[in-house]
Each structure stands twice: as C-alpha cells, then as structure tokens.
Amino acid sequence: MSTILRWTRFPSNPHGTGPEKRSAQILALCNQAGIAVEDMRPPARVSRWRAYPAGLAARLRFGARAAIYGRSIGLLGYHSEFYRTALAGHRGERVLLWETTYDAILPALARQAGFRVIALPHNIEAFVSEAVFADPAYDPTRDLGAEVARLALADSVFTISKEERWLLEARGLSPGYLPYYPDPVLQAECGAIRSRRLARASADGRVRGPLLILGSAFNPATARGMAWQLECLARSLPADAGVVVAGPRSGEVLASHSRPGVRMLGQVAREQLVELLGSCSAMLIHTFGGAGAVTRIPEALLAGVPVIANPNAARDQFGAPGVHVYDSEAGFADLVRVVPPIPPPPPYPDSAAAQFRSAIARLRAPQPV
C-alpha cells in the first residue's frame, strides 16, 4: 500500500467533533482506495533560536497575512521548522493532503520539496475565526482574500459545501466538492439507530419523543443558536413539552435558559447519545456565522432523525428530504409543533468520492520533466 502525507490538527475520530469526523472521512476514503495516510505530528517544542529566524523569513516571504494566527513571528517559525522536518522525513509518495489550511507556508515548502498538494479546508476559515466569534462587528471578508491566495497554492482544492465551492469559484479558483458523509464506522452506527427508530415509530412513520437540541456550546456561534431556540421554545410550546439539550458545555453555558420541561444534560456518553437519537422526535439546529452544520445534519438524516434548522445551519443540505427550514421565529414555532416523519437516508456521494480519488491518482502519477 502506498503512503501519502497529511496535515490536520484533528485526530480521525468518527465519534469526535465535526473536524475530527471530517478527518475520519478523508482517511477512510484514502484507505478504501488502497492508500495509507501518514499524519504529520507536531513536535512538543522547537528551539526558539531556530524558530525566530524561520519566522522572520516566512514573514518576509509571505507578508503579515501569511497565516490565520497573524503577527506571531514565533508561531510562523515554529510551523516552518515543523513542516520542513515532516516533509523531509516522509518516505512515501510526494502527495500532501492539506486539511489545516491556516497558513501559506506549508504548501509553499511542500511544492519546493517536490510534493503535489490537495487542499481540503474544513471551512472557509475567514468566516469562523476567533475574531468573528469575539466581535460581531468584525468583517471577515478582509481575511478572505488572504485565504483564497493560500488555497491557490494547492494543486487541487475540495470544499465541504456547495456554497464554499461557489465562493471560491467566484474568486478565481476551480475547486471540487467533497461533501461530508460519515466514515464506515459511523455509517453502521447511524444505520443501527435508524433501525431502532423504525421499530419505535408509529404507523405514520413518526417517532414521538422530546425535541433534541444538540451542539458544542464552547463554540460561541453554536451556543447563541441553542440559546435562541430555547428562548423561542419557551414562548411557543407548553411548559410540559419535552426538550433535551446535550453537548459539551451546554449545561454550563445555557443554564440560565433552563425551565420546566427542559432537560439540560451537558456532555453525554456515546451510549446516552444513541438513546437520545433513537427516541427524539427531531433535532433542532440553529447556527450563527459561516460554519453551518455540515456534519451534524448528514449524520442525523442517516440515523433517521428529522432536522429543523435555520438556513445557515442547513446550508449544504438545504432542500434535502428530512431537513425542515424556517426563516423566522413564527416559522420555527410552526415546525416544532408538528412531529415530522422519519426521513430517507441521504445518498452516498459516489461521484464526489470518485473525483477525490481521481485527484489523488492524478497527482501521484509521474510528472513530465
């Protein structure tokens, strides 16, 4: 089995966060094509005497907007030295999967070392940076140009959503589209939840249980959306209507929104999450900012869980069977009062997966001299 190199900050974990699930999907696609993936491992530390000169060189070469982490010469130098070491130590094929697309240094160094680069950004990072979360008045478009310039250094780019593909095309790139779909491990588990729901459903194909608000409240945009939904539910449903809130830090961050009929569970074990997905009537998702819910929604649909979401959350799944979209609080209230039927499973993205594998094969091929 041939081996290619990859840089991602996230472990390939089908049960982890959204970025970890995306990395797991990409790893599985490579393995299914008979390709092993060697993940670059950052060192615990880099000598500051080596990092600082390397950082200055990177700043001079790429300018002040070379990286998403901004003005830090030390971080630029740390990553420069880490990248050089990892690229030089790779003994497999000269292809790099670039998932953590935070700087211009890695693709430039990789090209110098004879690598072909496939960029797989998990988001358009300009729209989900810490500055966006910290300051609602912050204009992320000022960073978009630098991000497009970074991605243009790759030989091939694949986006996770149709909207991001459109945006990059409008900025002069020619990206492919590789939507998120759970890796085989999570596919099987979602299928088992779907079977439980079908067995539990009434004759009209609906599961009557609590509404489930699921999200990672350490993400400020996600927490704002969860809070918005809880406030609306307090005005639109009777106090005894069942609502469950689950996810990392949700219990602490959203404690002020607790009321009779709402169970604040916080982070739950996998077994409890499976039970919640198997028994809820629908999953509620509302996101602010530019990230959407590109991993939660496909998983929910595969598990047979209807989704009630705002347009931003639904973005890449807008119009998919089982995704019910509202544009206002009144529309939200109307949707949560009706139990939706179990949706059909979303189709596997065969064509997109084939295009991704084809890109790897093309870049692995010997290049003309």
Kindly give the confidence (pLDDT) of every residue in the chain, 369 residues in length, as a single tens digit, with 9 standing for 90 and above.
799 999 999 999 999 888 999 999 999 999 999 999 999 999 877 776 677 888 888 888 887 677 887 668 888 888 999 999 999 999 999 999 999 999 999 999 999 999 999 999 999 988 876 665 566 667 777 788 989 999 999 999 999 999 999 999 999 999 999 999 999 999 999 999 999 999 999 999 999 999 999 988 877 778 889 999 999 999 998 877 899 999 888 888 898 888 888 999 999 999 999 999 999 999 999 988 766 678 999 999 999 999 999 999 998 898 999 999 999 999 999 999 999 999 999 999 999 999 999 999 999 876 654
- 223: domain CATH number is 3.40.50.2000
> Are 297 and 357 members of one domain?
no
| Sheet arrangement for strand 307-309 | 262-266, 243-246, 211-214, 282-285, 307-309, 323-325
> Are 232 and 84 members of one domain?
no
Residue 206: inside a domain: yes
> Are 30 and 48 members of one domain?
yes
6 contacts: CB under 8 Å, gap ≥ 6: 26, 27, 37, 38, 39, 40, 96, 97, 98, 99
> For the chain, what is the radius of gyration of the CA atoms?
22
For residue 116 the two structure tokens come to 């072909």
| Sheet arrangement for strand 35-39 | 35-39, 2-7, 95-98, 116-119, 156-159, 176-177
Are 20 and 216 spatial neighbours (Cβ–Cβ below 8 Å)? no
Residue 341: inside a domain: no
Structural domain for 227, as ranges? 184-336
* Total structural domains within the chain: 2
